Structure 1
């Protein structure tokens, strides 16, 4: 039993380190024709993150509880500071410059939200509809501040965290469906308005059967879904910027704007497809060398992987992520406390959501959202946050193993 626990810890270490190693080579490949190089900074940042993870792995996470509100408050203040003194790039204001280093507070906000939400759900499980107010309050503030930066991709991560952690904490599945219902209503209002005649009554039925004050609950659902269906067209035109609307639509047919909004998707899929079964070889990709794909060292690093390592290389990376997530689920299910279990499931959700969205984006199955690929995309803030999150999971795994050995 102890040997299996150690194997879990080794997997939590070696898969991220292997991903970082191959990513450094791919980043170097994407910048062969450039006057700058970020691959060594990628590895240096990872080494710094490993040091933090090693320290956190020896920490009892229960000791963090008194610090969670100050940490959360600091991240909220940093997100507000982005609006006031932030640095802009690529049409968005998301960074703060500290001693010449660009820090992205939204990355750290994801982690602080996980920690505080885990503590709230541990102390106040969702047993009544009113209990949802606390977790919604924890998530809503950083979500709103990230959304208006604007950073649509990262804001989606907060929604995934909330829903998954609520379900893991024991909230009824029907309530989870009702929380997702406004999203379904918004999509149908824009794509298939006639389908709302079936969707809204179905959600009313779910509310009637699963919530107290049945008639009141069904009426509230009707009012909320009606409001969402009416406000969706306005939000589409005025709540999103032009490039965000293009990203959400053009992935369905990027050839409509091959030199504009669809350019990233077309070049990415061509690059991945050109790799064939075994790829062109590391540092040998021609599309990567000629820099046909913008921002390939960050959001589109998976396309460089596909071109230079082929189908086999991409499958190995996807399997590596799947094994990593599976081991995190094992750690979460064996955790000694609900608080620790919720932290691990939050970390697993954060990483897996980013993996799925990023890969779908690069192969043309999803819109361009600007979500990085964990441990592989270049980005110092994201890398440090990923290793901090890894250290938290290792702490839970080590504490559980030590308890079993006593």
Structure 2
């Protein structure tokens, strides 16, 4: 009788316990936020295409389902096994970006896609994830302890960055820079060095906008080099030379380094009214659409500007404007808080990772996502220039969706392996 009772308890009670363990093991923030955003995005994409003869909302969800399956597979894969594949991965990344240059498909003034079996694949999206894995492997093996240690990771990411920049894809190339700086900092680079790495960009901006400010900026960077770098006199001379070089070549880069539409985007960011029916049209209509949503929005599938397609490419780069019009300020705030919660969770996972390599991968993913979120939202509300950076899990795009879910799988793998150091979620 006791044996029968034990078997019954094992059959019934044990099953419940197993189900509870499976539910407890699910990272509700790491998986719930992206899935919730993807579901919401499908409705918003459908709203942007009510007057069109095509519909991408179901394709958005189908791609998400494929990406979710990929993420679940990667979540079971220990990241340490990828270390041996980093060199072939780097080679494949460079080859794919070179292929875009020679056999790529052009659209909207840029050559960024390769057509494979009728599908347009964007290698630069996959290159971002590859760059994160490669940098994590290098920085885990060679931490940043001396200025010379910056050469290896910078050279590693320099080639794919150049290949993406000349497509031209300025937005994605900026993602590479943001990922590099954040991962260098996480790998032990001192904060003054981070400021010095960013200083040439600031010098270029000042040279083009307020040249008189260079009189204070260059001496400040020179002092920072003297106080934080070895070989002080050499470091000061190098910093002054680099600052001056970037200040001098800024006019040339403005005229010859950027395409006409890229220069127009930067100019209309400062004053969209200069070209309200041309380069400034996207920005002005996006701000009008978000503002018309007020506190609670017009309701899903009820946005007037969205319905009449006043905002071009709204289902991709400008999906946040549809959110603002139909879900209002509170809907936007909820989505932003969801992104913030996801970033906090990634930071926790990175701190509790079992190895430097795993920690750096998660930090790199967080830097990639956060940069894209900030730039996309800022450009739709007029706080930044228009760039072709999608909003993670919300903007329509097959390649970006697959890469985001793959990144999610890698982070889930790190979280699962570090589970002993954390409480269940």
TM-score, length of structure 1 as denominator length:
0.97
Who is 1:388 aligned against?
A: 406
Alignment of 1:272-283 (within 5 A): 272-283=290-301
Q: Is residue 107–residue 381 contact of structure 1 (8 Å, CA) maintained in 2?
A: yes
Deviation at 1:404, TM superposition (A): 6.3
Q: Is residue 269–residue 280 contact of structure 2 (8 Å, CA) maintained in 1?
A: yes
Who is 2:379 aligned against?
A: 361
Alignment of 1:174-193 (within 5 A): 174-193=192-211
Classify 1:354/1:370 alpha carbon distance in 2 versus 1 (closer, same or farther; 3 Å).
same
Deviation at 1:232, TM superposition (A): 0.7
Who is 2:322 aligned against?
A: 304
Who is 2:230 aligned against?
A: 212
* Structure 2 CA distance for aligned equivalents of residues 298 and 385 of structure 1: 16
Classify 1:202/1:351 alpha carbon distance in 2 versus 1 (closer, same or farther; 3 Å).
same
Who is 2:145 aligned against?
A: 127
Who is 1:18 aligned against?
A: 36
Deviation at 1:333, TM superposition (A): 0.8
* Structure 2 CA distance for aligned equivalents of residues 273 and 169 of structure 1: 41
Give the gaps of 5 or more residues in structure 1: none
Query: Once superposed, which parts of structure 1, at least 4 consecutive aligned residues long, lie more than 4 Å away?
Result: 5-8, 402-405
Q: Is residue 41–residue 395 contact of structure 2 (8 Å, CA) maintained in 1?
A: yes
* Structure 2 CA distance for aligned equivalents of residues 249 and 345 of structure 1: 33
Q: Is residue 48–residue 315 contact of structure 2 (8 Å, CA) maintained in 1?
A: yes
* Structure 2 CA distance for aligned equivalents of residues 213 and 401 of structure 1: 44
* Structure 1 CA distance for aligned equivalents of residues 295 and 145 of structure 2: 51
What is the aligned counterpart of 2:129 among 83, 99, 111? 111
User: What is the RMSD computed on CA atoms of the aligned residues?
Assistant: 1.5
SS at match of 1:276: coil
Who is 1:80 aligned against?
A: 98
Q: Is residue 200–residue 243 contact of structure 2 (8 Å, CA) maintained in 1?
A: yes
SS at match of 1:102: strand
SS at match of 1:94: strand
Who is 2:279 aligned against?
A: 261
Who is 2:180 aligned against?
A: 162
Deviation at 1:271, TM superposition (A): 0.5
* Structure 2 CA distance for aligned equivalents of residues 404 and 245 of structure 1: 48
SS at match of 1:97: strand
TM-score, length of structure 2 as denominator length:
0.93
Give the gaps of 5 or more residues in structure 2: 1-20
What is the aligned counterpart of 1:141 among 140, 159, 162? 159
The number of equivalent residue pairs is 403
Q: Is residue 352–residue 422 contact of structure 2 (8 Å, CA) maintained in 1?
A: no
Deviation at 1:381, TM superposition (A): 0.0
Classify 1:307/1:363 alpha carbon distance in 2 versus 1 (closer, same or farther; 3 Å).
same
* Structure 2 CA distance for aligned equivalents of residues 194 and 380 of structure 1: 46
Who is 1:42 aligned against?
A: 60
Deviation at 1:396, TM superposition (A): 0.4
What is the aligned counterpart of 2:75 among 52, 57, 78? 57
SS at match of 1:251: helix
Deviation at 1:75, TM superposition (A): 1.2
* Structure 2 CA distance for aligned equivalents of residues 268 and 315 of structure 1: 17
Q: Is residue 96–residue 102 contact of structure 1 (8 Å, CA) maintained in 2?
A: yes
Deviation at 1:8, TM superposition (A): 7.8
* Structure 1 CA distance for aligned equivalents of residues 90 and 408 of structure 2: 19
Deviation at 1:403, TM superposition (A): 6.3
SS at match of 2:418: helix
Structure number with greater Rg is 2
